[in-house]
Amino acid sequence: MHLCVIPGDGIGREVVPAALDVLRATGLPLEITEAEAGWECFQRTGTALPDTTLAAARAADAVLFGAVGSPSFPVPGYRSPIVALRKALDLYANIRPVRDHQPPLADHKRTSSSAIDGRSSVVDLVVVRENTEGMYAGRERLEDGGDTAIAERVITRRASARIVRAAFELARARLQAKSHQPKVTIVHKANVLRETCGLFRSTALQVASEYPDIAYEEMLVDNCALQLVQRPAHFDVIVTTNMFGDILSDVASYWGGGLGLAVSANLGEARALFEPVHGSAPDIAGRGIANPFAAIGCVALLLEWLAARPDASEPAALSAAASRIRAATAQIQASGPHTPDMGGTAHTTDITQAVIAALA
């Protein structure tokens, strides 16, 4: 197993080593190529994604990515390296699973406690987000001497069809694995964005007709955000465009325990990149209190993806290791120790050591 590891900025440099320690503890053979990317890399070298890093990502079986600290103001020559990696490797599907977990706010009254539409009250959903175009296509410009800023939203039939098809295939796989009736929720704003969301919607409905065994529904994005807060157990698989998916998946992550536990997979036809969702968190970087659970969860996702590949050499061993990591992580999440974001006082290394001990 050859991994390209890109810690990036901020707490990425703390949680990625923690995840690798857990991965090594499984005993699986592992070859690691570490590469650099991010804001600090840009400040030092003039590029946020060096050619050597892109080459290393292409040569590896998979990529484990930490976080980048992109500035919120325009910087000539700077472009988000994670967005660039997604495009360069054609990682068109961003997969964000959310499984029921005690929310961070202990006094919150959970709204998912009752069954909805005959469905289970347990929150177990996936947000499938188109990853290469939309509002993140990078087509922005200034006009009127800098007084007007314009962004172009790019929606294509091809990208829409393949992301919706990925969502329906995932729903079908969940049917086989979980023995429950799957449902795909197609999210858009076609009542306002008639051309861009209109194309996404019509393409999605055409693809949906190819899957008569999978139920589907439509939902406007603002209503979807509300329903994710009020009745998250209503959802199974949500599929939507790039920026909508970015926002909705963060809303949904609350029901998985918050951003400290949120994992994501960026999948293409032949390559994959896995990253925690929490970002570089500069306010706590270097203090040793970053929550490593999301990065560790990404390792489990990574192993499951490798095991499912047609050319996997030892799929049973990879799947078993992923299951061991999930079980060990669940044990520590339930019993502690916990980092401050989960109400505890533990350090990153405390969590890592506890998970490794649970693995044994």
Set 136, 211, 216, 254: catalytic member: 136
- Kindly state the greatest CA–CA separation across the chain: 64
Residue 66 · residue 12 · CB < 8 Å: yes
Residue 19's H or E segment, with its range, is helix 12-25
Helix (H, G, I), strand (E, B) or coil at 114: coil
Q: Do the strands 31-34 and 2-8 form a parallel or antiparallel pair, or are they unpaired? A: parallel
Set 246, 254, 341, 350: catalytic member: 246
Give catalytic status of residue 107 as yes or no.
no
Set 189, 254, 341, 350: catalytic member: 189
DSSP state letters, 274-337: EEESS---TTTTTSS----HHHHHHHHHHHHHHHHSTT-S-HHHHHHHHHHHHHHHHHHHHH--
Set 21, 61, 90, 250: catalytic member: 250
- Rounded CA separation 273/86 (Å): 8
DSSP letter for 151, please: E
Residue 93's H or E segment, with its range, is strand 93-99
Give catalytic status of residue 144 as yes or no.
no
- Nearest partner of 110 among 324, 257, 291, judged by Cα: 257
Give catalytic status of residue 78 as yes or no.
no
| Catalytic (active-site) positions | 136, 189, 222, 246, 250
